[in-house]
Amino acid sequence: MTCVLLFALAAEPIPLVLVRSFESHREGYCELLEEFRLFHNLYQETRTGKYFKVDDNGDEEEIARVEPNKVEAKLRAVRQFCAVKGMHLAVYFELDRYSQHWGSAESLRAALKWKLRHSHFE
């Protein structure tokens, strides 16, 4: 999963996209940060998952689109939000690895070998 975070200097990162999950009770979904939506005064078309900004002439401009496994937003809108808030934009990647043999000595050795071969940042 890719997560886009906004952060101000000396502050905690704030996710622009929130990934909501409810264990097994309800299906999870993604949503845009409320402050971003309010800043741009976005109208959400719930049927399509699109967010629109309405200008003074009544013209609509699509600013963002939320789909089950993808969220897209216009970079210009994100940059405007960051500039006014004094924030920076960062992209983080979260990778999860699952194994049927979780905790076995064999899977641990394989994971350690993989880590040693792919340690580019150490």
pLDDT exceeds 90 at position 45: yes
Average pLDDT for 45-54: 94
Who wins on pLDDT, 92 or 78? 78
Domain ranges (residues) in the chain = 2-97
Q: What letter does residue 11 receive in the DSSP assignment? A: S
* Interacting residues of 74 by C-beta distance below 8 A, sequence separation 6+: 62, 63, 64
Q: What is the pTM of this model?
A: 0.69
Average pLDDT for 79-105: 74
| Strand-pair partners of 89 | 6
Q: What letter does residue 68 receive in the DSSP assignment? A: T
The answer to whether 17 touches 31, Cβ cutoff 8 Å, is yes
Who wins on pLDDT, 62 or 111? 62
pLDDT in tens, 9-32: 557 778 888 888 887 778 888 889
Highest mean pLDDT among 19-28, 66-75, 96-105: 66-75
Question: Which parts of the chain are beta strand (E)?
Answer: 2-8, 14-15, 17-22, 26-32, 42-45, 50-54, 60-67, 70-73, 87-93
pLDDT in tens, 53-65: 999 999 999 999 9
